[in-house]
Amino acid sequence: MLGSCARALHTTYDTALLDLDGVVYAGGEAVGHAVESLARARAAGMRLAYVTNNAARTPLTVADHLTRLGVPAEAGEVVTSAQAVARMIAEDVGVGARVLCVGGEGLRVALAERGLAVVESADDAPDVVVQGYGGPELPWGRLAEAALAVGRGARWYASNTDLTIPSGRGIAPGNGAAVEVVRIATRWMREAPEPRVAGKPLPPMHRESILRTGAERPLVVGDRLDTDIEGAVNGGVDSLLVLTGVTDGAQLLAAPPGRRPTYVAEDLRGLLEAHGAATESDGGWRCGGWLARVADGELELSGGGERVEALRALCAAAWSAADTAPGVRGGVPCSEKALARVGL
């Protein structure tokens, strides 16, 4: 079930570990209510950190972008998957290791900060190949160099394996797609290699965030179940899902246990609110003025009130049904009518 919090989240947790795209901004512009909500949370004493799987930009570039949007940020408040994978390589292979970098400036800077020597070719005898998102201009030849080096025995790392990345024109291939190219090109090897991956939802990214922020009571804030929320579950910390990005109501209701957030909110105003629990009542689950129940494999919603309270009641009903009667419609009650009633 979704958790409850009698006090506002920004006074309960000491640090918000915020995803960026779909949470703070979308298409380069600030998401509605993000600027003022983050300002109020910071003013009340909550520390803010911006945690992104995108390895292309440096923390300074990301911080400058946030500041231009009205969210004052410093480079030290930005944590990237490039930093996480650079730490992994330095710890695994050692400072001074020769690294063939297939990615953008953010990855190159992170490697240099860890004392790793960036090389350009498979012929430079790299100890390591590392892949990070390099933008749409990444030359095909860089992937060829990566495949050649892995084929010759270099250790293989990736900042993250997100197959797609949002762009102003739609969904574009992400770093995971580039990783797949190298995987396909090295299938001839007797023991097919697999990269070590740092980014969300895997533990190295969460570890990097905690090491850099010193958070003692962190709250992960994101819009994706498969990276942000799963990463929080893997890290053993609480999470807030906001509905300003890729996850919609139907996906949330169908979430398996490892991808269920602690809290859910329409947007970052949820940081400033207390979160009421859904409680069992009248054969269903009640939150605020809403009652959600499952009948004949379909979610039913009655009552009225705030839309997010309806969603919390629906989550309780859907997840309870999926966990206790997994044979019903593959474990997920049909939710279209119930969600349509509240415009989700």
Token pair of 214 as six digits: 């010193």
Strands 47-52 and 15-18: parallel
- Among 19, 127, 162, 223, the one annotated catalytic: 19
Q: How many residues does this entry show for the chain?
A: 344
Which of 76, 80, 67 has the alpha carbon at shortest distance from 107? 80
- 114 three-class SS: coil
Query: CB neighbours of 187 closer than 8 A, spacing ≥ 6?
Result: none
Using CA of residue 104, residue 132, residue 128, residue 202, what is the dihedral sign?
positive
Q: How far apart are CA 112 and CA 56, in angstroms?
A: 14
Which of 275, 306, 270, 309 has the alpha carbon at shortest distance from 41? 270
Centroid of chain to Cα 210: 15
Q: Answer yes or no: 127 catalytic.
A: no
Q: Answer yes or no: 14 catalytic.
A: no
Cβ 334 vs Cβ 292: under 8 Å? no
> Residue written as tokens 């807030």?
240
The residues carrying an active-site annotation are: 19, 21
